[in-house]
Every structure is written in structure tokens, then in C-alpha cells.
């Protein structure tokens, strides 16, 4: 893949909306939910070994947790009748305990009846509410609004508001394997796995997908985002289904996974943030959550089981989103440090808590010159082998691999959950590797990394937390020292680029002085306290060392610290 971004108009690969899998899914929403319920109940039956006692316990634990949640942590988005519903579940369970007449067989049937009720409720809650008219409107709003703002700020003068000189694609650059993902979208099902740094990511990815001419993807969005009116509208329009992180009970998790798996099997392109939540530390994800990822593998196996070899292939496409600036950085890094430093329980706080704050950020983002790029990685099969433009898996020597063989035992496709768990781990590792390869280095990453490492080296007797507690007034770096170290880091990054281990933004091809200046200007540019700047004496100083640490983390994992 080249470092240059691709700016051209992509024709939609499926011009008629009725052909979009997500539209098909929403048309058969009711039947689909029913299928999810049936399948979840069957899975839970399997997981409990169909044992009366285990099923009973599962139901009781779920009931207990749900009642606790309602009492201690209720949200605006929660339905009115929650308390009532769970009270009924309780009543049914109690009635069964009291009834001496029932034999085990009948009891079991009753428990399954309750289980089905709960799963139905969950499935209904999770299911996405895609409406094509909303989708169209949102897409227009986003593109129109964004490019108006953009042109107003960049092209000076009275007529600027009508200018089309700058398009969104100049601001948000899409690079990488754009043609491949378009090719594959009609040959199988895409599961896109992006890095996750900001709440803005979902909208950004939604825009990217539509710009590439792909039909909308469905994805799991945190239920907390649906608390805010404007987000709920956007999310529903983009085909989001709801993930409630408060619900950790087995029945909910099973229903959620089943929903995801059935949707992939249905042919819906999907989006997972494999890190689970936004990266708190600013690091690229080094570990991924295997729960949802395993649904891609299960869906693939299931397609092979059903003999759906033709269009049933699942393609994993890693994506990185590269920023100079992450709006939520100050609170994210604070949470991260609180958590790792003191093992203290932390609660999720939301900078995007009001529509006003979001709008303010968007205006800032589009009126000031901070670029974002989205790197589309090479598509892989469910074991992390690259696939060619035809969708065939290839080994390291270019030989074709039949993916079905990964699920074969004695000449037949069989179900082996332990095997699939190992495959998920392997896929997770491959995704992390690819993230590092397609990650695009910006000037701001280099200056932040270099400055923090130099400060760390100067105070090498201090552990991380003591270093972060030093008063910022005492910390400064002579410019020449800083420049020298930046130069070494830049050289090493160029070398890594040659080896294919990372990507570089084109603005790194100018001279060092310019790169440093560009980096200092852009790193965390909208924060009240700047992570890095040059003071009047010409020294490099920081106003917030935790933030500097956050932006530095972006280049962690490339062993660059060894050369500072």
C-alpha cells in the first residue's frame, strides 16, 4: 500500500438499496429476531449441558444481577417496564419452586419458557433499527455539513461558503486497500475491525464506508451512546445494534454473540471494535476482546457446515484511524492512570455528554487544520491469512488455502468450540500485528514520543507514576537535544517503513525542522493545556505531562525507545 491517499469518487457497489444486506435484514427483522432467540436458547442449552440445576442457577444469577443493575445503575435509555418484567420472572421462578406437582421434565420445560422470554427481550433490545430514509438524510447531513464548515475555514472571503475547493476527502484521507474491500464486499461478508481512540470513530467509519461506495455495515455500539438524542439518531441510521456493557450475565452475552453471528451469516457486513472500548492509554490495541471476534469464526464454520461455500466467506479487514488530536484524551489517560496506578474502580465519564459539546468539537475540528486519516488494511481470512482480490486465502508462499479445511476432522466440518477459541486468539494476534503495520505515523506522534522518552530518560530513577507527578514547570528540553532525538526516531521510522512494519504520512517527507514545527503545532492542538510547545527561550516544554504520555503511547511497540 502506498502512503498517498486516494481521492476519487467511488460508485456504490450495490446501487439499489433493496440489495443491501442491512435493508434485507431490517425487512425481515421479526423473523430474524426469532431466529436469534431460537439459536441462543439452543446454545445455552448446550452450555448448561441441558442440566436442570445449571439452567435454574443461570436464570437465578441473571435475575439477581438484573435487579441489582436496575437498582444501582439505571439509564435514561432503559425501558419503563424493566422492573415489572423482572418481577414477573421472579414470580415465575418462585412459583416453580413452590409447585410440588412438577416432575423434572416439566420443570425444565418451564425454565426454558422463562429463558425464551428473557432472550426475546434481549434480542429485541439489541436488534438494530435501520431506516433507509434516516440513513440517506444522515449521510447528506454529515457530508454537506462537514464540507461547508471545511470550505468556510480554508478558503477565505465572502464566497467561501459556496466554494467546493476542499472536499471532505482532503480532510479525512482514506488510504490503503480500498479497491480490495470493494471487490470482496460482493464476494462474501466483510468484518471490519478498526482501532478505537475516540467516540467520533463510529461516525468517521460510517462516513468512510459510504464514501467507498459500500452498503452500510452493522455494528455494536455502546448503549450509553443511545442516551443522547443526537447520537441515537445517527447510530440508528448507521445500522447500529446495541451493546449494553452493564449486562454481564451469560444469557445476555450469549444472545449478543448469537445476534452478531447470525447477522454475519445473513451476509451483513459488520464492524467490531476489537479492543472493546476506546484505548484508554493512547496505545494501539495490543490485546483484543475475543468474544465478538469468535462470532466471525463461528459464522464462517456455520456457513461451511451449511454448504454455503460460494458467498459464505468471511473477510477480516483491519483499519486504523490516525489522529493528531483525540478530544477525549485528558479523561481517557486519567482513567488509565487511575486504573493502572491504584487498581481503583473507575466509572465511565463522557465528554460527548451533550449535543452542544459535540457541535463545538465538530466546528473546531473542521475549522482548524488537523488532518485525520483512515488506513484500510489488507483483507484476511478468519485465521489471519491474506486473501487475494478473488477472495482466495493465500499462504506466505502464495499457495491457495481452502479455509474450510481448518474446520475439518475426519473429512467433515465439525463443531469444536475449544478449537475455535484458539483460532480466535490467533486471529486476535494477527489483527494486532496488522494494526501496527498499517498504522500511519504523523509528525505529532514523533514529537510526542521523542519528548516523553527524553524526559523519561532524564529522570530514569523515577517510575512512571512519580515521573507523571513531577511539576511541569521543572520539565524542559533544550531544543537541540530534542531535535537530535527526533531525527533518530524519524530515521528509524523510515527504516521500519522500508521493512513494511509501519506507514508514514506524506508530511514526513519534508525537512526535519518543518516536521518538528508541524508536529508541535498539531499535537493535541485543541486541549486547554498543550501537551507540547516551544517556549520563549526556545526550549521544548509540556503543560500536561499525562497528555504527553498519552500521545507518546501511539508509537509504543516499535522498540523506538532503544534509540533515544
Among 97, 309, 405, 458, binds other proteins (CB under 8 A): 405
**Three-state DSSP class for 38?**
helix
Is 179 or 405 the residue whose CB approaches other proteins more closely?
405
From 27-35, 57-65, 315-323, 404-412, span contacting other proteins (CB under 8 A): 404-412
Piece of the chain touching other proteins by CB under 8 A; list 112-120, 389-397, 473-481, 488-496: 389-397
Work out whether 406 is an interface residue with other proteins (CB under 8 A).
yes
Residue 365's closest CA among 203, 190, 479, 553? 203
Number of Cβ within 10 Å of residue 244's Cβ equals 20
Which residue of 24, 45, 426, 529 would you call a contact of other proteins, by CB under 8 A? Answer: 426
Task: Examine residue 395 and tell whether it contacts other proteins (CB under 8 A).
Answer: yes
Q: Exposure string (b/e) for 49-81, b if CB count within 10 Å is 16 or more?
A: eeeeeebbebbeebbebbbebeeeeeeeebeee
Q: What share of the chain is helix, strand, coil (3-state, %, to 5)?
A: 55, 10, 35
Using the Cα atoms of residue 378, residue 383, residue 389 and residue 395 in order, give the sign of their dihedral: positive
Closer Cβ to other proteins, 88 or 416, answer by number: 416
CB-based contact 524:447 (threshold 8 Å): no
Which residues inside 146-205 make contact with other proteins, applying CB under 8 A?
A: none
Q: Which is nearer to other proteins, 406 or 550 (CB)?
A: 406
Q: Which of 399, 461, 473, 536 binds other proteins (CB under 8 A)?
A: 399
Question: From the CB of 271, what's the least distance to other proteins, in Å?
Answer: 26
3-state secondary structure of 322: strand
Q: Closest distance between other proteins and the C-beta of residue 391, in Å?
A: 17
- Judged by CB under 8 A, the residue of 25, 333, 380, 403 near other proteins is 403
Determine, following the binding rule CB under 8 A, whether residue 525 of this chain makes contact with other proteins.
no
If the CB atoms of residues 97 and 416 are measured against other proteins, the closer one turns out to be 416
Judged by beta carbon, residue 289 or residue 426, the one nearer other proteins is: 426
Interface residue with other proteins, options 8, 156, 344, 397 (CB under 8 A):
397
**Of residues 453, 428, 421, 440, the one with CA closest to residue 502:** 440
Q: How many residues does the chain have?
A: 564
CA separation for the pair 555, 564 (Å, rounded): 13
Pick one of 161, 409, 464, 563: the residue that binds other proteins (CB under 8 A): 409
Listed in sequence order, the residues at least 6 apart from 399 whose beta carbon sits closer than 8 Å to its beta carbon are none
Beta strands in 345-504 (DSSP E): 372-376, 393-394, 400-401, 408-409, 412-413, 440-441, 476-477, 503-504
DSSP per-residue codes, 167-217? -HHHHEEEEESHHHHHHHHTTSEEEEEE----THHHHHHHHHHHHTTPPPP
Task: Please pick, from the candidates 81, 422, 491, 513, the single residue that binds other proteins as defined by CB under 8 A.
Answer: 422
- The answer to the question of residue 433 lying near other proteins (CB under 8 A) is no
DSSP letter at 440 equals E
Among 87, 91, 95, 408, binds other proteins (CB under 8 A): 408
Residues 364-383, interacting with other proteins (CB under 8 A):
383
| Residue ranges that bind other proteins, judged by CB under 8 A | 383, 385, 395-397, 399, 401-403, 405-406, 408-411, 416, 418-419, 422-423, 426
Amino acid at each position: 500500500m502506498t502512503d498517498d491517499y486516494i481521492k476519487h469518487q467511488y460508485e456504490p457497489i450495490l446501487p439499489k438499496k433493496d440489495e443491501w444486506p442491512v435493508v434485507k435484514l431490517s425487512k425481515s427483522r421479526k423473523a430474524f429476531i426469532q431466529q436469534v432467540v431460537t439459536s441462543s436458547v439452543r446454545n445455552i442449552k448446550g452450555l448448561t449441558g441441558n442440566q436442570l440445576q445449571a439452567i435454574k442457577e443461570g436464570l437465578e444469577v441473571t435475575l439477581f444481577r438484573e435487579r441489582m443493575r436496575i437498582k444501582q445503575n439505571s439509564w435514561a435509555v432503559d425501558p419503563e417496564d424493566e422492573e415489572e418484567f423482572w418481577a414477573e420472572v421472579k414470580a415465575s421462578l418462585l412459583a416453580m419452586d413452590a409447585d410440588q406437582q412438577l416432575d423434572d421434565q416439566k420443570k425444565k420445560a418451564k425454565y426454558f419458557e422463562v429463558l425464551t422470554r428473557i432472550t426475546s427481550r434481549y434480542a429485541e433490545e439489541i436488534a438494530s433499527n435501520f431506516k433507509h430514509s434516516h440513513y440517506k438524510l444522515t449521510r447528506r447531513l454529515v457530508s454537506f455539513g462537514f464540507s461547508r464548515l471545511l470550505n468556510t475555514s480554508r478558503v477565505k472571503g465572502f464566497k467561501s461558503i459556496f466554494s467546493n475547493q476542499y472536499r471532505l476527502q482532503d480532510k479525512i484521507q482514506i488510504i490503503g486497500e480500498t479497491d480490495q474491500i470493494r471487490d470482496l464486499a460482493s464476494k462474501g461478508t466483510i468484518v471490519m475491525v478498526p482501532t478505537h481512540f475516540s467516540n467520533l470513530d463510529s461516525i468517521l467509519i460510517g462516513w468512510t464506508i459510504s464514501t467507498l461506495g459500500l452498503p452500510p455495515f452493522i455494528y455494536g455500539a455502546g448503549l450509553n451512546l443511545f442516551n443522547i438524542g443526537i447520537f441515537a439518531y445517527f447510530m440508528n441510521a448507521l445500522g447500529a445494534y446495541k451493546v449494553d456493557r452493564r449486562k454481564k450475565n451469560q444469557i445476555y452475552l450469549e444472545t449478543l454473540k448469537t445476534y452478531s453471528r447470525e447477522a454475519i451469516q445473513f451476509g451483513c457486513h459488520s464492524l467490531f471494535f476489537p479492543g472493546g472500548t476506546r484505548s484508554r492509554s493512547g496505545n494501539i490495541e495490543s490485546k483484543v476482546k475475543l468474544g465478538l471476534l469468535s462470532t466471525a469464526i463461528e459464522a464462517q464454520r456455520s456457513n461451511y457446515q451449511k454448504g454455503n461455500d460460494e458467498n459464505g466467506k468471511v473477510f477480516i479487514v483491519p483499519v486504523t484511524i490516525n489522529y493528531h488530536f483525540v478530544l477525549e484524551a485528558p479523561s481517557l489517560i486519567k482513567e488509565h492512570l487511575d486504573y493502572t496506578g491504584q487498581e481503583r474502580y473507575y466509572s465511565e465519564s463522557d465528554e460527548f455528554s451533550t449535543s452542544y459539546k459535540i457541535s463545538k468539537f465538530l466546528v473546531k475540528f473542521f475549522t482548524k487544520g488537523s488532518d485525520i486519516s483512515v488506513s484500510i488494511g489488507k483483507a484476511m481470512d478468519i485465521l489471519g491469512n491474506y486473501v487475494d482480490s478473488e477472495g482466495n486465502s493465500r499462504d506466505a508462499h502464495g499457495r491457495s488455502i481452502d479455509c474450510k479445511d481448518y474446520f475439518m476432522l475426519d473429512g467433515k466440518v465439525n463443531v469444536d468450540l475449544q478449537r475455535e477459541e484458539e483460532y480466535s486468539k490467533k486471529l486476535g494476534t494477527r489483527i494486532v500485528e496488522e494494526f501496527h503495520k498499517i498504522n500511519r505515523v504523523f509528525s505529532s506522534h514523533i514529537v510526542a514520543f521523542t519528548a516523553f522518552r527524553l524526559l523519561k530518560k532524564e529522570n530514569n530513577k523515577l517510575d512512571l507514576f512519580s515521573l507523571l507527578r513531577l511539576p511541569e514547570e521543572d520539565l524542559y528540553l533544550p531544543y537541540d537535544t530534542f531535535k537530535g532525538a527526533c531525527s533518530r526516531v524519524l530515521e528509524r521510522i523510515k527504516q521500519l517503513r522500508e521493512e513494511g512494519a509501519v506507514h508514514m504520512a506524506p508530511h514526513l517527507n519534508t525537512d526535519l525542522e518543518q516536521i518538528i514545527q508541524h508536529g508541535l503545532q498539531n499535537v493535541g492542538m485543541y486541549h486547554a493545556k498543550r501537551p507540547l510547545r516551544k517556549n520563549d527561550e526556545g526550549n521544548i516544554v509540556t503543560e500536561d505531562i499525562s497528555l504527553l504520555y498519552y500521545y507518546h503511547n501511539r508509537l509504543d511497540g516499535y522498540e523506538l525507545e532503544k534509540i533515544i
